[in-house]
Each structure stands twice: as C-alpha cells, then as structure tokens.
Amino acid sequence: MLLLFAGPMTRDESQKYQPDFNELIPLSEAAKLSGLSSDHLRRLVRNGYIWGMKIGRNWVTTKKIIEEYIAKDRKPGPKPKSVDQADKSD
C-alpha cells in the first residue's frame, strides 16, 4: 500500500492506515534513516505528505513510510513561482 500523496491527506485518509505498534519508529530514528531532519519529517507529517502520529510527546512513523518517501521522485529546493504570482508582482 503506497501511502504518499501529491498533496496533504485528509484526516480520514490518515486514520485509515494504522500500522502495527511494533512497526512504529520515532522521527529521530527516521531522520537517521532518511538523512532528513526530524523537524522536516514532523512538518511532512503535520502537512499530510507522509503518515505519522503523535503518541504522548513523541512523533512516530514507520520505516516503510520513510523508505517510500525517499524512493519517491522529489525535487528539493525552492519551488518556482507560478505564472499568476509572477504577473501580480509586476
């Protein structure tokens, strides 16, 4: 099951996927696996781009989710301005 979305997932979509408790890893471990910061991963979870949840004061996800995100064709860096935004600034 691929759980990555082009945009933020809805609350219902997020709640449909519930991994086994033994699959969960803290975002600090996910950061080591991915090479991304735990803050960036937390932002991805909050914005719905990857699955994760907060248990107590700790954010968790799964190794499978992180591996799928890393394998996805991502384009890091600043995004180009859309044509509409470029026209408004002139």
Beta strands in the chain (DSSP E): 24-26, 53-55, 58-62
Domain residue limits, the chain: 1-72
Cα→Cα distances 29→10, 15, 46, 58, 70, Å: 25, 23, 18, 12, 14
User: Mean pLDDT, to the nearest integer, of 50-63?
Assistant: 92
* 35: number of Cβ within 10 Å: 7
Name which residue leads in pLDDT, 9 or 73: 73
Q: What is the mean pLDDT of the chain?
A: 79
* Prediction pTM value: 0.67
What local confidence, expressed as pLDDT, does residue 29 receive? 96
Rounded to an integer, the average pLDDT of 53-67 is: 93
What band does 87 get if pLDDT is binned at 50, 70 and 90? low
Whether residue 69 has pLDDT greater than 60: yes
* For residue 12, pLDDT beyond 90: no
Residue with tokens 């699959």: 23
Q: Is the pLDDT of residue 89 over 60?
A: no
